[in-house]
Structure 1
Amino acid sequence: MCPADTETIGNGEPAWWKEAVVYEIYPQSFNDSDGDGIGDIPGVIEKADYLDELGIDVIWMTPPYDSPHADNGYDIRNYRSILDAFGDMDDFDRLLSELHDRDIRLILDMVLNHTSDEHEWFRKSRREEDGYEDYYHWVEGDPDQPPNNWTSGFGGPAWTYDDTREAWYLHLFHEKQPDLNWRNPEVRREMHDVVEFWLEKGIDGFRFDVFNVMSKPEGYPDGDPDGGWIGMEHFSDGPRIHEYVGGLYDDVLSAYDVMTVGEGMDITPRAAKRYCGPSGDGLNMVYHYDHTMLDYGDGGWWDIVDWEVSEIREALTKWVQQLEVTDAWNTVYLGTHDTPRIVSRFGNDDRYHYESATMLGTLLLTFPATPFCFQGDEIGMTNYPWSSREEMRDADATNRVELAFEEDSAEEFADVADVVRYRSRDNARTPIQWSGDAAGGFTDGEPWIPVNPASEEINVADQRDRTDSVLSYYQDLIELRHNEEALVYGVYDLLTDDHPRVWAFERSLGDERLLVALNWAGRTSRVDLSDAGEVTSILACNYDDPGTDLGALALRPYEARVFRLA
């Protein structure tokens, strides 16, 4: 793509990471090369040609580091070592080389907020060894009374009493994920060194996990007991967070041309501007959860509520409008390793599987932001029909289910099955369905997590040979995004701010004008878009024989069209 005329675009200077299409790989579920049932780095290498054919520019890999996997790799035991089940550092170096040979960049998930309780720093800290006493958040006190009322993001209290040190330690997530104390300058130095280690190996950037909760206030005040995540107002965008993020940029990141993406917890566009760009803390972009929290009711994880197209349209449009003409760039995603499958959540995974999967892909790849696609979404993978606690692996869901049993709000799995099937992160973590063979072509052994039985109908091998598949549609849309500069740098103009089912918007850059029309419903929806002008060509559509009369546009169930305008 040619560099854009910076006078015609907002959001600062052109950059490779703005033009990239990112593909998230969850390695243990991607491809198993040795038959042990766990995906690995050599397995990713085996599929490098597939990734090249798909057309993506960047791989974001979730943590490949040594870990006991209490939270599937986000509990890191050694930041400078590869998990044995994934391979070794030579395998990683070979993967990096294979990807770079295909002009695909690699960014890694980096967990700055916490480690595993098996990390040597925590083992030394709990024994109060010299220099490590304050590497984590420790509070002495009554073993029966936590220091405050903060809760974990996985449910239950955010504090665990340690009998070795005879004190409480903080964990905003799993009890095996103690939070690092970034107030300690030695912790900051250690983490800066870790980031620099991987950049010197030649990787192309980082996705920083829950980066904006690293700063906790002195005294650990109680949180609002009526809040969904109690204490969030104290540790989200905490008191010294800009010092910590800015310091990481100044000391390390500023010396490299890399992509940096921060996962923001309870973050707003206004807060994002302070983290991004040279006028902020130096990150390239953040991503948020506004559109993925729409189906949460007052009861939190257990409370599934209906959402409207207007809500997701408003949530994502707000971010575009508030970040435009700033140096904070936008991101867009619909699914990750932390969310259910997008066609099951936002589309129709039964009657309109192809149509809704491709409609969602159209939004993802035409929206004004760097798009992030999660593995398997390009073939329309669906949620798994969970039928027992034994099938589950997700630390978040299993913890909540166990608490429900302990609190007698559930007596058997059937009592929680509907919520688990809808909400569990395990939905995204079932193995890639490479074929309709046993174990979906993922492994020759017993997979670490069940393979979705839908693999017989939904798999790469079948879709790779068809031009009318979800996979082929994604390939075409990725190519279109690469060829149309307006889809990257173009101004976004919402055309249907009050339509109950249709989301239509224009992307314009200089004389180039593109119109995207999406029907988010399982029935035909009509809309008048004649004010947008005249259609000169159709660039994409997930149905045959699309019409071009914008004055009487009838969009079929989950239909997506991309027009070029005069």
Structure 2
Amino acid sequence: MRTWWKEAVGYQIYPRSFKDSNNDGIGDINGIREKLGYLKELGIDFIWITPIYASPNFDNGYDISDYCAISSDFGTMEEFKELVNEAKRLEIKIIMDLVINHTSNQHNWFEKSRQKDPNYRDFYIWHEPVNGKEPNDWQSIFGGSVWTYDKVREEYYFHTFAKEQPDLNWDSPAMKNKIVEMIEWWANQGIDGFRIDAISHIKKEKWDQPNNDPKRPFKAFQNVEGIGEYLTELNTIFKKHNLMTVGEASGVTAEEAEVWVGKDGYFNMIFEFEHTGLWRTANDEQPFKQFKEALVRWQEACANDKGWNALYMENHDLPRSISVYGDDSSVYRTISGKALAMAFMLLQGTPFIYQGQEIGMTNTTFDSIDEVNATDTIYMYHQLITNGYSETQALEQISAVTRDNARTPMQWDGSEFAGFSETKPWLKVNQNKGSVNVKLEQEDANSIFNFYKQLIQLRKNHPVFVSGEFRYVETEAEPVFHYERRNEQEQYAIVVNLSKEEQAFVSLDELTDNKLVLSNYLDYDFSKLRPFEARLYKLS
């Protein structure tokens, strides 16, 4: 039986930075509509839109104040319905972001809960002071205590993230009923599924449990035992409406894959964090071995129909992959961007491309903390200053890791504001817009954009890349990622050098008699792999 989301390629849109149609400096719904033809040209089957709901925007829409209203920053519900209809005409499905670990502290549920309204009293997690202090010393993901005192209720409320994002109480039947009503309301708007934000945080440990494991600093509220009860209830609603689901699941390991994404799993697929957590080390060396092992672990955990997973290298919370895993210099930007594309696009799973990834967008440089928007980055900057860093040192540190790297406006052309808008955008434009933009990429037959198009068509035309067996091939060259995809009709080998050093290995000689289908270099030296060289062979 064919399953559409297994054969599909997804594209993540961060609306605020995608395309501004009314020139107010903020991307919007009509901007997305304007670029659907571009996404169709790329070969996209569905788009995941990050939150466009009503929000005070303390965390750029991940602090929702009304689940069933569209933020005026992005447009209207009527414009959203037009987007749905236009996307359907182009056979592009729409996946919404579902944020149900927390809301905004400006949501009327929270206001009623802090007033102890009997119908909303237990919608959030409240706790009376303990000896005049917080119930425990747990630290939030955005920094500082997970507890904030509310003078109206005279109790502390819990927040996994910022104090403006109070966590919902999943032990409240009344709250869960409201969530179900909201999910069904959106299903009736014609959407095709949800990406479920921060879902592994909805269960918490008992408050007296320590949370001091340096390897898992948030373990007391991350994938806690017993979470399955909540997720099974949610899954029932998703299945009822035939919605595709992808959960953001930090803390979930490959050993748990079948429970989370198996035939009877909680979700169709998840975004796991094992490979993207391996950023550059202090000595600027990349842990190639650990990176490959993480990818292979999940491939093997989902093999033989045990599960399915999402494939990704970028999203709105991560620095740009070329700047982290590749080389964003002018020498190897295009080559390394193609190498990373081949490495993950031909694995088993559903690939997600983040806006700008397909043209090789890179990290930018922030010259002042005033240019930074991300809440967690601003907190990190001030902590560094407190710890004795100079402003220059602190800015250098945060520029490498801030989420704002992924949120700079989409670079459509080389004009002043990169074709994103005709006015100054909400966040600075990357300084390399003149050399990295959609217009140039579309015109260049050997661009990263056209390489992604080729990879997408290979997936669409050859079922082996969707349902074929994955086989990892070990090599003596640690930076080389070598794997095969096989079914009864076809067999392919993918070989990618993940480093900027030449690599030679014994098994490379064995591939020379096979057909080279695709490479990111225009000429070939079969005795070695050059920096970031990637090759796809059809095996004899």
> Given the two structures, how large is their TM-score scaled by the length of structure 2?
0.96
Q: 2:251 maps to what in 1?
A: 266
1:537 to 515, 521, 532: 515
The one-letter amino acid of 1:519's match is N
Could you tell me whether the CA contact under 8 Å between 2:63 and 2:103 is conserved in 1? yes
Distance 1:264 1:77 in 2: 23
Could you tell me whether the CA contact under 8 Å between 1:410 and 1:416 is conserved in 2? no
1:290 to 265, 274, 279: 274
Report the CA distance shift for 1:514/1:68 in structure 2 as closer, same or farther (over 3 A): same
The one-letter amino acid of 2:265's match is G
2:224 to 218, 238, 258: 238
- Secondary structure at 1:358's aligned position in 2? helix
Per the TM alignment, residue 307 of structure 1 is displaced from its structure 2 partner at its CA by 2.6
The reply to whether residue 276 of structure 1 matches residue 276 of structure 2 is no
- Secondary structure at 2:418's aligned position in 1? helix
The reply to whether residue 409 of structure 1 matches residue 365 of structure 2 is no
Please give the per-residue CA displacement for 1:389-409, whole angstroms capped at 9, x wherever unaligned: 00000111112223334xx21
Distance 2:172 2:240 in 1: 24
Per the TM alignment, residue 142 of structure 1 is displaced from its structure 2 partner at its CA by 5.0
Distance 1:169 1:530 in 2: 58
Could you tell me whether the CA contact under 8 Å between 1:340 and 1:425 is conserved in 2? yes
| Matching of residues 525-564 of structure 1 within 5 Å | 525-529=503-507, 535-546=513-524, 552=527, 554-564=528-538
Q: 1:3 maps to what in 2?
A: none
1:436 to 388, 405, 414: 414
Please give the per-residue CA displacement for 1:320-353, whole angstroms capped at 9, x wherever unaligned: 1122124420221111000000100000000201
Please give the per-residue CA displacement for 1:516-558, whole angstroms capped at 9, x wherever unaligned: 11011213211232696674422211111335x5xx4x11111
The one-letter amino acid of 1:236's match is Q
Q: 1:9 maps to what in 2?
A: none
Q: 1:481 maps to what in 2?
A: 459
The one-letter amino acid of 1:48's match is L
| Matching of residues 317-396 of structure 1 within 5 Å | 317-350=296-329, 351-396=331-376
Per the TM alignment, residue 376 of structure 1 is displaced from its structure 2 partner at its CA by 0.2
Distance 1:379 1:137 in 2: 43
2:208 to 215, 221, 229: 221
Per the TM alignment, residue 270 of structure 1 is displaced from its structure 2 partner at its CA by 2.4
- Write out the 4+ residue segments of structure 1 that deviate beyond 4 Å after TM superposition: 530-536
Q: CA RMSD in A?
A: 1.8
Question: Mean alpha-carbon deviation: is it higher for 491-500 or for 185-194?
Answer: 491-500
- Secondary structure at 1:90's aligned position in 2? helix
Q: 1:490 maps to what in 2?
A: 468
- Secondary structure at 2:495's aligned position in 1? strand
Distance 1:557 1:278 in 2: 40
The reply to whether residue 504 of structure 1 matches residue 482 of structure 2 is yes
Could you tell me whether the CA contact under 8 Å between 1:310 and 1:499 is conserved in 2? no
Per the TM alignment, residue 225 of structure 1 is displaced from its structure 2 partner at its CA by 2.1
Q: 1:58 maps to what in 2?
A: 46
The reply to whether residue 520 of structure 1 matches residue 498 of structure 2 is yes
Distance 1:420 1:144 in 2: 35
Could you tell me whether the CA contact under 8 Å between 1:310 and 1:497 is conserved in 2? no
Distance 2:249 2:284 in 1: 23
The reply to whether residue 45 of structure 1 matches residue 24 of structure 2 is no
- Secondary structure at 1:72's aligned position in 2? coil
Question: Mean alpha-carbon deviation: is it higher for 264-273 or for 33-42?
Answer: 264-273
The one-letter amino acid of 2:355's match is Q
Distance 2:496 2:27 in 1: 36
Could you tell me whether the CA contact under 8 Å between 2:348 and 2:465 is conserved in 1? yes
Distance 2:226 2:531 in 1: 49
Per the TM alignment, residue 62 of structure 1 is displaced from its structure 2 partner at its CA by 0.5
Q: 1:4 maps to what in 2?
A: none
The one-letter amino acid of 2:227's match is I
The one-letter amino acid of 1:192's match is V
Per the TM alignment, residue 237 of structure 1 is displaced from its structure 2 partner at its CA by 2.2
- Aligned residue pair count: 539
Instruction: State the identity %.
Output: 37
1:203 to 175, 191, 204: 191
Could you tell me whether the CA contact under 8 Å between 1:295 and 1:304 is conserved in 2? no
Report the CA distance shift for 1:338/1:238 in structure 2 as closer, same or farther (over 3 A): same
The one-letter amino acid of 2:431's match is P
Please give the per-residue CA displacement for 1:278-298, whole angstroms capped at 9, x wherever unaligned: 4333x101121111212387x
Distance 1:129 1:412 in 2: 48
Question: Mean alpha-carbon deviation: is it higher for 173-182 or for 95-104?
Answer: 95-104
Per the TM alignment, residue 150 of structure 1 is displaced from its structure 2 partner at its CA by 1.3
> Given the two structures, how large is their TM-score scaled by the length of structure 1?
0.92
The one-letter amino acid of 1:294's match is L
The one-letter amino acid of 1:108's match is M
Point out where structure 1 has 5 or more consecutive residues left out of the alignment.
1-12, 298-302
Point out where structure 2 has 5 or more consecutive residues left out of the alignment.
none
Could you tell me whether the CA contact under 8 Å between 2:482 and 2:493 is conserved in 1? yes
Distance 1:334 1:148 in 2: 36
The one-letter amino acid of 2:94's match is L
Distance 1:228 1:178 in 2: 25
Could you tell me whether the CA contact under 8 Å between 2:222 and 2:251 is conserved in 1? yes
Distance 2:485 2:111 in 1: 54
1:249 to 222, 235, 238: 235
Distance 1:500 1:39 in 2: 42
Q: 1:7 maps to what in 2?
A: none
Per the TM alignment, residue 240 of structure 1 is displaced from its structure 2 partner at its CA by 3.3
